[in-house]
Structure 1
Amino acid sequence: MRKKTATLLLFLLLGIPAAAVADDLPEYTILQASGPVTVDGRLDEPSWQAAPPVDAFLFPWWEAGEKEPTDARLLWDEENLYVAFVATDKHISATLTQRDAPVSRDDAVEVFIAPDTAAVEIYFNFEFNALGTILDRSPRDNRSSAWNAEEIVVAITIDGTLNDESDEDRLWTTEIAIPFSSFADFAPRLPPRDGDAWRLNLYRIGGAVNPQFSVWSDTRTEKAQYHVPERFGIVHFSAAPVTATAIKDSSLGEIKKEGR
């Protein structure tokens, strides 16, 4: 909390209004799933097909190599927060299989969540490699690896050949269900209600060939750093069923490319 306060004071001393500090954070409305979601890595439910993607991922630390786009979208119901990533990747690699292994060394996607917008420094991180291995941390016990999110479910599908650099792959898909019970004691109310806001960020990292370091909300750090909760984007929960909303350009078959 001290770091956040000091940053805010610095902006005020420089004559920058407090509201301007975070007014460039991306926002996204999480629509409610209109039916059951089966976590199998296929994303073939109507809810996923209609859910809008988040803004294209940014590459703030890009220096060389090919920028490989990532499509990410979210849904929710009374029990779970659902997150899906479709990651374009010509060389998919992952070897770590033990729970809480450092999966960011592999091709991986990550979700960082602060369920209380008044305390963004209290956040959870969930990380998944292309084998579906999970690393999860909570604010409990100094972010100890002893904590595991109970009943979290992840499924991966790969369009290509894992750990084979002799050919080119197309993409890998990650589908995740994070139970809202994981956030007990840290969220203002569970499950969230229509209009509630949380803070979160979405990331992609790693890979043995052409490593990727991309983000939904720019962390504004000189080097790749994902543990920057003050730069988490803002998500709003909506009780509107996803299929009842007119969504344009939401097809999972088209992945938006980032220009920066």
Structure 2
Amino acid sequence: MNIPVTFLQRLSPKLLPAAWLSAMLGLGITLPAQAQSPFQGLEHLFTPPKGYVVQHTSQPLTLDGNLRESDWQKAPWTTDFVDIEGDKKPLPTFQTRVKMLWNDSTLFIAATLQEPQIWTTQTHHDDIIYKDNDFEVFIDPDNNAHQYFEVEVNAINKIFDLYLPKPYRDKGDALISWDVPALQSGVAINGTLNQPQDQDKSWTVEMAIPLKALRMGFPWQPPTEGTQWRINFSRVEWDTKV
């Protein structure tokens, strides 16, 4: 799910529609007629990304995946995730959705992943976490589709974090040695782990990413009210037998 996010100190009836409108209009794709032929059949991949307004919080948050705090309860969920290949594919079987908050030093991200069988095999930091079912975040603070940060997490809260100077499709080499300084995260499991004889319900991840960590040698300013960033979210779901 590709989401332009807008940072607000508080929701305002006047600011909210404008923030969503600017997020949507800024990323439309228009191709001249002579440039369209190489993309025939791929139009479903060019749908405008959805927007999300990140509400400001001054409330202390416990990073345990339970989202009990009142500000988390008030923060809206995104719409449900869709297939990465667009609307030509069926909707995913299991629901995934995200909500966010921020304060002057931190971006908070929470995601709930419906999952009837919760399992993991990757047990160390910077293991290849996407070998498990996982949740992934891609953050592009300067909105140029380059120089972005990736954080992956599995159901036992093991993190794979890295920096990409440019996308993989442009032969970008991931800097796996980079870690998010002072990253905090927690996972709550609604079910059992690695127990195939029963049915699970979901797992929820909650993370706190320091804003000052999201820079890597390029001009950067921390977000203020009205700032827009590009953030992608992804869920890896393997078809496995248990």
Q: Do the two structures share a fold, i.e. TM-score over 0.5? A: yes
Name the CA shift for 1:143/1:66 in 2 (closer, same or farther; >3 Å).
Answer: closer
Q: For structure 1, which runs of at least 5 residues remain unmatched after alignment?
A: 1-7, 211-260
Q: Secondary structure at the match of 2:32?
A: helix
Instruction: Provide the identity percentage.
Output: 29
Partner of 2:74: 50
8 Å contact kept, 1:115–1:199: yes
* Higher RCO (CA < 8 A, seq sep 6+): 1
Q: Secondary structure at the match of 1:143?
A: coil
Kindly report which structure 2 residues correspond to 1:201-240, keeping only aligned pairs within 5 A, or say none: 201-207=232-238, 209=240
Kindly state the Cα deviation for residue 208 of structure 1 after the two structures are TM-superposed.
5.8
Kindly state the Cα deviation for residue 189 of structure 1 after the two structures are TM-superposed.
4.0
8 Å contact kept, 2:142–2:220: no
Name the CA shift for 1:13/1:69 in 2 (closer, same or farther; >3 Å).
Answer: same
Q: Secondary structure at the match of 1:97?
A: coil
Q: Give the ranges of 4+ consecutive aligned residues of structure 1 lying more than 6 Å apart after TM superposition.
A: 62-66
8 Å contact kept, 1:112–1:125: yes
Out of 129, 143, 146, the position equivalent to 2:177 is 146
What TM-score do the two structures reach when normalised by structure 2? 0.73
Kindly report which structure 2 residues correspond to 1:68-217, keeping only aligned pairs within 5 A, or say none: 68-117=94-143, 119-139=144-164, 142-185=173-216, 189-207=220-238, 209=240
AA in 1 matched with 2:94: E
Q: For structure 2, which runs of at least 5 residues remain unmatched after alignment?
A: 1-27, 37-44, 166-171
Q: How many Å separate the matches in 1 of 2:215 and 2:91? A: 42
8 Å contact kept, 1:93–1:208: no
AA in 1 matched with 2:32: L
Name the CA shift for 1:13/1:80 in 2 (closer, same or farther; >3 Å).
Answer: same
Deviations 1:45-74 (A, max 9, x none): 111100011121102459789710012101
8 Å contact kept, 1:109–1:202: yes
Name the CA shift for 1:14/1:28 in 2 (closer, same or farther; >3 Å).
Answer: farther
Q: How many Å separate the matches in 2 of 1:114 and 1:169? A: 34
Total equivalences in the alignment: 200
